[in-house]
Amino acid sequence: MSKMDEKTVIIACDFNSKERLEEFLDQMEGTDPNFYCKVGMELFNTGALEGFQPVKMIKDRGHKVFLDLKLKDIPNTVAKTAAVLAKAGADIINVHADGGLTMMKKAVDSINGVYSQYEIDCQALIETNQDGINDEMIAQLEEKIKSKPILVGVTVLTSMSDEELKEEIGVDRTSMEQAVALAKLSKEAGMDGVICSPKEILAIKAACGEDFLTITPGIRFIDSKKDDQTRIATPYCANAMGTNGIVVGRPITEAEDSIASYNRCKKEFAQGIGSPEEVENAKIYIADIKKKMLEPSDAVALALIEAGAFKVNTEDPYLLKSGIASPLYCNNRALYCYPEQQKLVMNYLAELVKECYPSCEAIFGTPLSAISFGALVAERLNLKFGFRRPEKKDHGLNVEIEGPVEEGIRAVVIEDLITSGASSFQSVSELMGYNIDVLGVGGIVDNNFIDSTELIKNEIDYHTITTMSKIAHYAGEQGLITPEQYDQVLAYENNPKDESWMSEEAAEKIRIKRQNQNK
């Protein structure tokens, strides 16, 4: 892997004339002698039209160049172009990672080939060098060998939102998911790292390792304009997330004092020094990103807690439909009042169906709350939808099943909470009675302290996103389960049918509830 200076600030020289580039480089005299300049398509093409070489001009002044041309073409063309750019002196070269594995491998092999040849040529000169005749050529080759460029893949442009990615490009992933997938592909191809927005740094480092480089555009000071970026962070926040380099343009190049702005970047990013407001903002920003990085089971558990769905009461326990008394309850209907949490949970439920039952043609909801959840899942998957009524309709068509009652249609039953599995199995049985091919049951929560005996006994496949034990774990971390309640909850978890954890008062309340339930 090619090396990169620790915590590098790269200045985006997005200028459209030779004069503006020279003016900026003159302004920066007296600061770091070998800072990085990013040469993008605007400046590179301006040089081609006006007859000057921006890369050479910057290199002649002793600075380093990130040649930001985002190569993407057939593998052979990209490979040859990457070799040309390396020979031209670029210190960082990038290609579009969505050009694919073969294209990136070809670029890596091409650059490796150039530098392997330098090493061969250098060794040959050393072996035949007499009286120091070739000393200068050897020194030049040794310098070239040491300056092998860093090759990085471009993941998702920082100007692109999740909505644009899906609706305009047709990528059925979030920007974070897409960036991580492309980062993994880049690593497999042998690339040194990737270009990613601040929001993807942590996820890419987690997926590809701390040694895999991340270079991050979309950097703005806390008091800067957002401009055309959508996924941004401050230099201090980028430091806190562990990225290796940041690309900063207008906050430096259009500042009244460019050197002061550059030094501010180095202070906040390279040294990790920020104002109290920046430090606090970074904590919130990073916490929000870490939440998005959670496994579905963890994310859904937290979403249900945020929506107020999870309840704990050891003094007045909950009587479940199965007849079991529980100190814990998860009222998933609470999601109706929390659109953000509902959207997250329904997205994961749709993903569960798509992953576990790829041949599914129809979704059926169980009564009552899972009817609406089933409809939301069917809408996301663009599938037919139906539901089982709590009881047969006593008028009109007199049906119990609404929806696509078609013989042989492959269906999945949606449930909100699976405990004993009795209500889920009832729906499955009703559908099978119409010769519907039920693939299985998909649910939000598995009350995993209690075996879903009806589903297991009848060999019905079922999957849930999260479990009651996981929700209880997070509730405990957040102090929703008090130390006094903890031992009772633990006793219930160990054996839900052993009710000795209850006080006499709680047991009496459950006895009355059971009487009412049986009426």
Q: What is the pLDDT of residues 420-478, one digit of tens each?
A: 999 999 999 999 999 999 999 999 999 999 888 899 999 999 999 999 999 999 999 99
Instruction: Examine the domain organization and report whether 109 and 255 are in the same domain.
Output: yes
**Predicted local confidence at residue 1, as pLDDT:** 43
φ, ψ (nearest 5 deg) of residue 166? -80, -50
Report the alpha-carbon distance of residue 429 to residue 381 in Å, rounded.
Answer: 24
Q: Where is the domain boundary, 264, 290, 316?
A: 290
φ, ψ (nearest 5 deg) of residue 69? -105, -5
Instruction: Examine the domain organization and report whether 308 and 269 are in the same domain.
Output: no
Instruction: Examine the domain organization and report whether 247 and 313 are in the same domain.
Output: no
Residue 3 lies in a domain: no
Length of the chain: 519
Instruction: Examine the domain organization and report whether 387 and 451 are in the same domain.
Output: yes
Which are the contacts of 505, defined by CB distance < 8 A and separation ≥ 6? 315
**Predicted local confidence at residue 225, as pLDDT:** 64
With H, G, I as helix, E, B as strand and everything else as coil, classify residue 327: coil
Report the alpha-carbon distance of residue 61 to residue 30 in Å, rounded.
Answer: 12
Which domain CATH number covers 123? 3.20.20.70
Strands 325-326 and 328-330, sheet pairing: unpaired
Instruction: Examine the domain organization and report whether 235 and 362 are in the same domain.
Output: no
Instruction: Examine the domain organization and report whether 192 and 72 are in the same domain.
Output: yes
Instruction: Examine the domain organization and report whether 276 and 303 are in the same domain.
Output: no
Residue 355 lies in a domain: yes
Instruction: Examine the domain organization and report whether 231 and 335 are in the same domain.
Output: no
Q: How many CA atoms lie within 13 A of 8 on its CB side?
A: 25
Report the alpha-carbon distance of residue 40 to residue 70 in Å, rounded.
Answer: 9
Residue range(s) defining the domain that contains residue 324: 298-518
Q: Where is the domain boundary, 274, 290, 306?
A: 290
Which are the contacts of 35, defined by CB distance < 8 A and separation ≥ 6? 9, 11, 28, 63, 64, 262
Instruction: Examine the domain organization and report whether 282 and 392 are in the same domain.
Output: no
Q: Where is the domain boundary, 256, 290, 324?
A: 290
Residue 74 lies in a domain: yes
**Is this prediction's pTM over 0.75?**
no
Q: Considering its fold, how many domains does the chain have in total? A: 2
Residue 2 lies in a domain: no
- Give the tokens for residue 383: 């599938």
Q: How many CB atoms lie within 10 A of CB 21?
A: 21
**Predicted local confidence at residue 231, as pLDDT:** 60
3-state SS track over 143-178: HHHHCCCEEEEECCCCCCCHHHHHHCCCCCCCHHHH
Instruction: Examine the domain organization and report whether 70 and 203 are in the same domain.
Output: yes
Which domain CATH number covers 339? 3.40.50.2020
Report the alpha-carbon distance of residue 412 to residue 419 in Å, rounded.
Answer: 18
Instruction: Examine the domain organization and report whether 260 and 345 are in the same domain.
Output: no
Residue 352 lies in a domain: yes
Strands 310-312 and 328-330, sheet pairing: antiparallel
- Give the tokens for residue 421: 């599995």
Residue 282 lies in a domain: yes
In the DSSP assignment, the letter for residue 299 is: H
Report the alpha-carbon distance of residue 328 to residue 449 in Å, rounded.
Answer: 11
Q: What is the pLDDT of residues 136-166, one digit of tens each?
A: 787 777 777 788 999 999 999 988 888 898 8
Residue 1 lies in a domain: no
Collect the ranges in the chain with pLDDT lower than 50. Answer: 1, 229
Strands 245-248 and 213-216, sheet pairing: parallel
Instruction: Examine the domain organization and report whether 343 and 272 are in the same domain.
Output: no
Q: Which burial class, exposed, middle or buried, applies to 442 when counting CB atoms under 10 A from its CB (0-12, 13-18, 19+)?
A: buried
Amino acid identity of 368? L
Residue 380 lies in a domain: yes
Q: Which residues does the annotation mark as catalytic?
A: 70
352 cis-preceded (ω within 30 degrees of 0): no
